[in-house]
Amino acid sequence: MMIIGLSIILTNLLYLILVAIVYFSKPRIRNVENKVYSYLVLISIFNLVLEVCCCFFVAHRSSYVVINAIVNRVFLLGLLGWLIIFTLYMIYISFFKGTSFYQKHKKECVGICFFTFMVLFAFILIAPIYYFSNNVYTYSYGPAADSLLVMGAISIIIDLICLIKNYKKIKQKENYPLLVLILVMIIVATLREINPGIIVINSAFSLITIIMYFTIENPDVKVINELNRNKDILEKNNEERSNLLFRMTQEVRKPISNIDSLVNMIDVENEYVKLEDVVSAIKNNTRQISYVVNNILDVTDIDVRKIKITNSKYDARRLFEEINLFIKDKIGKNVAYNYYISSEMPKYLYGDYIKLKQAIMSVLINSVENTKKGFIDINISVMIKYDMCRLIITVEDSGVGMNIQQVNDILTLDKQLDEEDEKKLNKMDVDLNISKKIINIIGGSLMIKSEVDKGSEFIIVIDQKIAEEKKIKRDKNLNDDGTVLIMDDDLNLLYKEKKAFSNNSINAVGTMYGLDVINRIRVGEKYDYIILDDDTVKGSAKSVLDELKNISNFDIPVIVMLEKNKENIKEHYLEIGFSDYILKDNLENNIDDFIKKIRN
């Protein structure tokens, strides 16, 4: 029995040492899971070595009385330590992972763990321990040894609570050790009742430790998965953007060609062409070009300050689906209907969805009423900047169309809705004039291209705030998983700076423009620190800081990066409002020193 037991222990020890070598030889993500696992691996190896020693000293306890007592009690402490840490780990991933609770109460959590261990440590030191031996096996028992069984029972109860809490996520791999521990503890307790000499609890703990290696966050697997995921997202997004840009490019080319033809008509001095008609047509085409370039493609003018968020949160996809279903039933049999909505469409937006729906429905109903054969297409694209979404709703039909004068009359309309318009809206007796008024009210714009007997194209553009705010965890102590925003217009240096923070398990977001920093903070993005390079082509760090200070409730520490020749005036930067500075000479080491300083 002793030989079999030693064989199991030594096999576990060898395998666990190999796992430890592989685990500690690779760079690891600095998070709670990896820290806990590091402790469990080391404790498991330590316990297996102690168990081998226990087998020897218990068998020869008459010759090594003092050493045997010490080794056995330390072994019990090792098992209890492993069990306490594992139980707290399961509590963390079941209740507190992904929340700020652990970071806020880190000291209290460590204190509870330490206090529990010290109470058990004191008990094991003073509680008696006895030994049973026959020709087959030898084992220890008594109050000191029973403390392990009590802690095991408490652990099973806590683990069952965690299991109930995570029953919907039970298939997630991080819960596998929990299932194994519950099963193993039941088997160990059963074997203990059948034969007290069968002691496999330490080997069971080692098995769980080995299993955990394949369930914790593996940096290699995570990187590969994230790269593949990002690749799929980027490919999908690039395809949609390419399609949108292609359509918009075609929208620009046609009016340019029209203008060129109209100018040629003036050059030849055709007596049948009225100059005022040509000028009107040129204005209409230039308006189309301006609309595409400024109202659609130029996302730099998206500014949250211009958006009046006085409306409600709405489900954007559901709204457009309701419109789609309503219109689909109204279209005649001789009309082909096509509906497309971008996969990048955010789920929830803020805005006056009722008026937005009325405006779109007005345009679509107009197309349905004036298109008896041919097609009606609706295309809903988006362009996103931070937490703002630009909706681009294009409705195209092959209906009766309109002349230039009719188009201009609608586009130049700037009146508000009157009582008569409201009555028409309630009866769904709508027209394009009402649609234009509604779009004006909700801060959007409308573009119309139409030819008599050839059809029309309507483009509605409106900026809406994304309801799903981008919340980035913020912690002034800059612990693991904290986030910094770095501005540097030197792309090579920006890459090095981001890497230096990432090597310290800190998320680093980079930008080359000071205006981008200001816009990110203005729309509500949160960071632990902002790092600004002092000298850039488009302004200084101080100018960015001054703009940031004008933002309501701004309180993020701002750090300036200085060249070596400015070290003698570093105090000046602290006086004008910067929280600290980093010298760019020996940059990576200086960033490491800065992180150590603010973590202490």
> Per-residue pLDDT tens for 58-88?
667 777 778 878 888 888 888 888 888 888 8
CA 16 centroid distance within chain:
35
b/e code 499-532 from CB counts within 10 Å (16+ = b): ebbeebbbbbbbbbebebbbbbbbbebebbbbbb
**What residues are paired with 340 via a beta bridge?**
379
Handedness of CA 528, 533, 536, 539 (dihedral sign): positive
At residue 468, the pLDDT reads: 58
Q: What is the DSSP letter of 577?
A: T
Looking from the CA of 468 toward its CB, the CA atoms found within 13 Å total 8
- Position 1 scores a pLDDT of 46
Other Cβ atoms closer than 10 A to 453 = 8
In angstroms, the Cα distances linking 435 to 285, 466, 557 are 22, 24, 47
Quick check: 231 pLDDT over 70? no
What was the pLDDT predicted at 186?
Answer: 72
Alpha-carbon distances, residue 160 vs 88, 97, 174, 175, 464 (angstroms) = 13, 18, 15, 12, 46
pLDDT value of position 308: 44
Bridge partners, residue 581, by sequence: 560
The model's confidence at residue 591, banded by pLDDT at 50, 70 and 90, is confident
State mean pLDDT over 319-334: 88
Cβ-in-10-Å burial (0-12, 13-18, 19+) of 75 comes to buried
The DSSP 8-state label assigned to residue 488 in this structure reads -
Q: At which residue do the structure tokens 């295309």 appear? A: 379
| Residue 244 pLDDT grade (very low, low, confident, very high; cuts 50, 70, 90) | low
Angle at 420 between CA 415 and CA 425, to 5 degrees: 90
Tokens at 542, concatenated: 């101080």
Dihedral angle of Cα 516, 520, 521, 524, to the nearest 10 degrees: 170
Give, in degrees to the nearest 5, the angle at Cα 171 between 169 and 172.
70
Cβ-contact 508, 497 below 8 angstroms = yes
Handedness of CA 95, 96, 102, 105 (dihedral sign): negative
* Strand locations in 348-453 (E): 348-351, 374-385, 388-397, 445-451
pLDDT tens profile 441-455? 888 888 888 888 889
For the chain, percent of residues with pLDDT exceeding 70: 73
Q: Collapse the DSSP code of 526 into the 3-class scheme (helix H, G, I; strand E, B; otherwise coil) and give the result.
A: coil
Q: Structural domain boundaries of the chain?
A: 2-217, 219-297, 306-465, 483-599
The CATH architecture annotation of domain 2-217 reads: Up-down Bundle (1.20)
Cβ proximity of 257 and 250 under 8 Å: no
Q: Enumerate residues 6+ apart whose C-beta is below 8 A from 65.
A: none
- Decide if pLDDT at 376 tops 90: yes
Q: What's the token pair of residue 364?
A: 């679509």
pLDDT digits (tens, 9 = 90+) for 472-505: 344 445 555 578 899 888 877 888 888 888 887 7
Q: Using CA atoms, how far apart are residues 20 and 75, in angstroms rounded to an integer?
A: 20
Report the range out of 171-185, 371-385, 426-440, 463-477 with the highest average pLDDT.
371-385
Rounded Cα gap, residues 41 and 205, in angstroms: 10
Taking the mean position of all CA atoms in its chain, how far away is CA 244? Answer: 26
Phi, psi of 460 (to 5 degrees): -105, 130
Q: Is the pLDDT reported for residue 530 higher than 70?
A: yes
pLDDT tens, position by position, 378-428: 999 888 776 778 898 999 999 999 887 788 788 777 777 777 777 666 666
Cα dihedral value 6, 12, 17, 20, nearest 10: -150
Residue 531's beta-bridge partner residues? 486, 559
Q: What percent of the chain has pLDDT over 90?
A: 6
The 10s digit of each residue's pLDDT in 206-223 is 888 887 777 765 555 555
Radius of gyration of the chain (CA): 35
Highest mean pLDDT pick, 200-209, 273-282, 341-350: 341-350
| CA dihedral of residues 539, 542, 547, 550 (deg, nearest 10) | -170
- pTM reported for the whole predicted model: 0.40
CATH match of 306-465 with 3.40.50.2000: no
Look at residues 355, 377, 367 and name the one whose alpha carbon lies nearest to residue 435: 355
Closest-CA residue to 23 (of 250, 209, 236): 209
Average pLDDT over residues 506-521: 83
3-state secondary structure of 338: strand
Residue 144 contacts residue 84 (beta carbons within 8 Å): no
- Between CA 582 and CA 212 the distance in angstroms is 40
- Under the banding of pLDDT at 50, 70 and 90, the label for residue 229 is low
Task: Identify the residue whose tokens are 């309309």.
Answer: 413
Q: How far apart are CA 309 and CA 84, in angstroms?
A: 50
- Architecture of the domain made up of 483-599: 3-Layer(aba) Sandwich (3.40)
pLDDT at 309 over 50: no
Q: Indicate if the pLDDT at residue 13 is higher than 60.
A: yes
Q: Which has more pLDDT, 171 or 531? A: 531
| Mean pLDDT computed over every residue of the chain | 76
